[in-house]
Chain A
């Protein structure tokens, strides 16, 4: 439909945007293999030295371990609550339905600092001591939203007649769930869970307010960046984090072909 010249110009623009998006990621990957501990470009030589150093760094290890635990718990909670909320909103018409579906968007519509501060004042106000659970609650707020959106999108595209047909053919509620609803939902659930995991693993703003003195991986990275310390280790950890988030995101992408945050019709 567009003229040849326009098409070429647009293709060029698209290529430039992709270049813009990917150059910084590639540069970090290159720095991870830097042999020197000075961050200058181009790097002086290639080496795996800092991978070994990072592997033996206790702070980095415990930070990764804490982040893993938090991400697992937060995405677990999000899976349960998000699935329940999406099913309820989709299936029933009840009082306050609109306001609940609005409230569920708040954690991503409000700036993270607000969610973080609100939870922080709530913890202080109610005298709750900081623990792994205070971080998990903080992360669960936005993880729930991700799972909820993924599942709701799937439910909306599913024809209700499938469930009616199953009921007409004599299946009880559990059988319908087991043989009709679950197979339809399962990939959306897995994808939502993986995205929630990736988000939680990476979250820093809400975490700074809910962690107290604990150090998750993003906080470990942030502290070192601020003080300009252990940058070669940060490079390696950053590279590993990029690779580690790419895996769940690619899988979830294959499962749904949806974006998680945004539902496509």
Chain B
């Protein structure tokens, strides 16, 4: 077990150290020579390419997290507090199965749905609406990411909502709070750690993904992951340097999440 952990940690260390190395421009081999060139290239003010890619990645990760929170909250609320025992068990399985079924297949399915002759345009035309040409755009990425990671948001929110004792809600009502007042002052604060826990998954998974941009994104939909993946063979040092960016973003995110009490809800 320890040996295993050591390999894993050693790998991470090698990766981050090699971000500060450089490569021989002829042979493409890694040279163990300390330099900040890779980071200068990344954060250069003359060339905003990598800023733009980072911005796009983080921006879509935020949008996806927000969308999933909005979709998941009422669903989890229904599951935890309204549905009967049997409905709840059924909903649980209905959420879990897509979570564990093939991730690639679920993305692929969306490429067929969004394509020109796909199910989306077919339904739109059936309603008398024009085609929605969103295949291979950032919109498509937003939909697909939100779809793929949705179960990761539902489960922790459900767990948080389920743990709120009924007596709290009764107390709130006895003290004169109306339906929405109870929701805002009792339910929401108690469920927030669950939402943040879920957002760790949706945010981190979107941040590190490079398959979805390849399969459903357009020509200007590169994510950090795509650049990292594509430069591995040409410039591994640069690719390692860029790979530290999502890790840093994630570290900041986790620190904030810990403040909000998400770790107890994980």
Contacts and interface: CB of A to CB of B under 8 A. Distances in A.
Q: Do A and B come from one complex?
A: yes
Interface of A: 1-3, 6-7, 9-11, 13-14, 17-18, 20-25, 27-28, 31, 38-42, 81, 84-85, 100, 103, 106-107, 109-115, 117-122, 124-125, 137, 140-141, 144, 195, 198-199, 202, 204-205, 208-209, 218, 221-222, 225-226, 234, 238, 241-242, 245-246, 249-250, 253, 259, 261-265
Given A259-B155, A261-B155, 10 more contacts: A3-B179, A18-B94, A28-B112, A85-B1, A103-B9, A113-B210, A114-B12, A140-B4, A221-B104, A262-B159
Sorting the interface of chain B by its residue count into under 10, 10 to 19, 20 to 34 or 35 or more gives 35 or more
Contact of B104 (A39, A122, A222, A263): A222
Given A27-B113, A118-B15, A221-B104, A111 B208 contact: yes
Nearest to B226: A113
B247 A81 contact: no
Classify the interface of chain B: helix, strand, loop or mixed. Answer: helix
Contacts of A27: 109, 112-113, 119
Max chain B Cβ within 10 angstroms of own Cβ: one of A21, A107, A234, A245 = A21
Contacts, number: 229
B129 interface: no
A121 B200 contact: no
A197 B169 CA distance: 42
A117 B200 contact: no
Nearest to B8: A141
A245 B102 CA distance: 8
Interface of B: 1, 4-5, 7-12, 14-15, 18, 71-72, 74-75, 77-79, 81-83, 91-98, 100-106, 108-113, 115, 117-119, 122, 147, 150-152, 154-156, 159, 162-163, 166, 169-170, 173, 179, 197, 200-201, 204-205, 207-211, 214-215, 225, 228-229, 232, 236, 239-240, 243, 246-247, 250, 254, 266
Nearest to A120: B232
B151 A21 contact: yes
